Amino acid sequence: MTESSAYTPPKIWKWEAQGGGAFTNINRPISGSTHERELPVGKHPLQLYSLATPNGVKVTVMLEELLALGFKGAEYDAYLVRIRDGEQFGSGFVDVNPNSKIPALMDHSTEIPTRVFESGAILLYLAEKFGALFPTDPGIRPECMSWLFWQMGSAPYLGGGFGHFYNYAPERWQYPIDRFTMEVKRQLDVLDRRLADNRYMCGEEYTIADIAIWPWYGALVLDRLYNAAKFVDAESYTHVLRWSKEIDRRETVRRGRMVNRAHGELHEQLRQRHDAMDFDTKTQDKLEAVA
């Protein structure tokens, strides 16, 4: 960023057209719906409205983990929300999440249907609802909650900070990239030190802390996020890499990554999920083959 392009903030900021960059067409400084649109409701108690971003993957991995553990009440319908088309600003979605961010969950198994938004809140809600993937030991449970909320507080620096300026901004400017790269590398070092002496984030037990952190930081070091693994020297974080690869091998994680995915290889895209058989019969490659 040169001196000639320095920005002098006005006394009062006003909303004007942005100068390019991804998501410009949907960014706005106000909340609420922009159009009327009801959300579909499927046959299962749990209704998920999402997209396979890191935050969305957290919840679909969690649901697939619960189903693998035998919790039939965790069956769910997952509907794709195309955020670049502004579908999160439809009236039905805003009713579930007034913050207009994916993922959003409706639980119809309760007497009055329960809405849950924010990915960390959804993980905690499901863990407590089914009594799984959340330590019961009072000495470990607070550790798990701490790492869960560490992720919720840290990931905006990775996504909204580093990811935006490195991958989505209309131009690449050194100052913000340096600033957020430094913070992301510090976060990776925090994880690497923790995982040096622990198989998972909370010891030997795989928990919602791992499910929350992996879609962001695991994806980064496995070079699935912003094409930035080499840039941040991911290979130097050996313990994070070991942990990331172990979780990546889980069948539940493979399935969770497919749900609500609308990019990448067609056989890895299950844009809507209503039944376990959908993974075998309704991936995008199969649907397009018969279209």
Do the domain assignments include residue 209?
Answer: yes
CATH code, domain carrying 172? 1.20.1050.10
Q: What is the tens place of the pLDDT at every residue in 244-271?
A: 999 999 999 999 999 999 999 999 999 9
Tokens 């991911």 — which residue? 234
Least confident piece of the model among 6-20, 46-60, 154-168, 173-187: 6-20
In this predicted structure, the answer to whether residue 174 has a pLDDT above a threshold of 70 is: yes
Segment 136-154 shows an average pLDDT of: 97
Grade residue 277 by pLDDT with cuts at 50, 70 and 90: very high
Residue 222 lies in a domain: yes
Examine residue 171 and state whether it is found in any structural domain, yes or no: yes
Q: What is the pLDDT of residues 91-118, one digit of tens each?
A: 999 999 999 999 999 999 999 999 999 9
Rounded mean pLDDT of 156-176?
96
Q: Is residue 240 part of a domain?
A: yes
| Rounded Cα gap, residues 255 and 12, in angstroms | 48
Residue 1's pLDDT band (cuts 50, 70, 90):
very low
Average of per-residue pLDDT values in the chain: 95
Please give the model's pTM, rounded to 2 decimal places: 0.96
pLDDT the model gives residue 3 = 44
The stretch 272-284 carries a mean pLDDT of 98
pLDDT, residue 4, reads: 54
Interval 131-160 mean pLDDT:
97
200 to 206, 208, 210: CA distances (angstroms)? 6, 10, 7
- Please give the residue range of the domain that contains residue 231: 141-250
Tell me the C-alpha distance between 195 and 189, whole Å.
10
Q: How far apart are the first and last CA of the chain?
A: 49
Give the closest residue to 52 by CA, choosing from 29, 82, 16. Answer: 82
Domain count along the chain: 1
Domain contains 259: no
Domain assignment present for residue 136? The answer is no
| Residues 214 and 41 sit within 8 Å (Cβ to Cβ) | no
